[in-house]
Amino acid sequence: MVTIWFTSALRRFLPTPSAEVEAATVGEALARVFATQPALRGYVLDDQGVLRRHVAIYLNGEPVRDRWHLTDPVGPAADIYVFQALSGG
């Protein structure tokens, strides 16, 4: 089972509870969450389905390698964190 956590910064805009899903890749895991929460997709991915430039995804403590297609494989038990890159003023 893969557990996905979302930054609390998103909760100002829409509900983002953590979710447990079955998935083989990071992209699949996100797709499962977006299926139940379609509005969330555009906050994490751009129009081409690529991870937004200022959003980071960590898989088991490491940044994902494939930000374009999100093909990083996940094991049977994994933690995925989705959060914002630090920037602004």
Partner 1 sequence: MADRLHVATRKGLFEIVRDGGGWEIVDAQFLGDPVSAVLVDPEGAVYAALDLGHFGAKLWRRDPASRGSAAAWREIAVPAFPPKPEGDGEGDPHPWSLGKIWVIEPGGVAGRLWAGTMPGGLFRSDDRGASWSFVEALWHMPERRRWVGVAGGEQPGINSVLVDPRDPDDIRIGVSTAGVWASADTGRSWRLINQGMYAEYMPPELRGEPIAQDIHRLARCGAHPEIVWCQHHNGVFRSENAGADWREVTAIRPSKFGFAVAAHPRDPLTAWFVPAIKDERRIPVDGRLVVARTRDGGASFEVLTRGLPQRHAYDLVWRHALAVDETGERLAFGSTSGGLWISEDAGESWAMPEARLPPIAAVRFAAA
Residues forming the site for partner 1 (CB under 8 A): 9-10, 13-14, 39, 42-44, 46-48, 50, 52, 54-55, 84-85, 87-88
* Shortest distance in whole angstroms from residue 55 CB to partner 1: 6
Q: Does residue 80 contact residue 29 with C-beta atoms inside 8 Å?
A: yes
User: Which residue's CB is nearer to partner 1, number 24 or number 85?
Assistant: 85
Length of the chain: 89
Q: Which is nearer to partner 1, 13 or 65 (CB)?
A: 13
Q: For residue 73, what are the β-bridge partners?
A: 25
Least gap, CB of 14 to partner 1 (angstroms): 7
The least CB distance from residue 22 to partner 1, in Å, is 26
Alpha-carbon distance of 2 to 19, in angstroms, equals 8
